[in-house]
Amino acid sequence: MNAIQTKHNLDFLAAPWHRDKRVMAFKVGTCHGQYAFIEGKLSLISVINEVPGNGHLDDVFEWFEYAARVQGVDLVITEFFNDRFKEHCLKKRGFSSYGKNDVIKRFSKVKEVANG
Return the CATH number at 100: 3.40.630.30
Domain count, the chain: 1
Read off the pLDDT of residues 83-104 as tens digits, 9 standing for 90 and up: 999 999 999 999 999 988 999 9
Phi, psi values for residue 91, rounded to 5°: -90, -30
- Domain assignment of residue 70, given as a range: 14-114
Question: CA neighbours within 13 Å on the CB side: how many for 64?
Answer: 33
What average pLDDT does the segment 2-21 reach? 94
In a domain, 71, yes or no: yes
- Rounded to two decimals, the pTM is 0.87
In a domain, 47, yes or no: yes
In sequence order, what are the beta bridge partners of 35?
24, 44
Confidence at 1, pLDDT banded by 50, 70, 90: low
In a domain, 67, yes or no: yes
In a domain, 61, yes or no: yes
In a domain, 2, yes or no: no
| Higher pLDDT among residues 44 and 114, named by residue | 44
Read off the pLDDT of residues 50-83 as tens digits, 9 standing for 90 and up: 999 999 999 999 999 999 999 999 999 998 888 9
| 89 vs 69: CA distance, rounded Å | 17
In a domain, 53, yes or no: yes
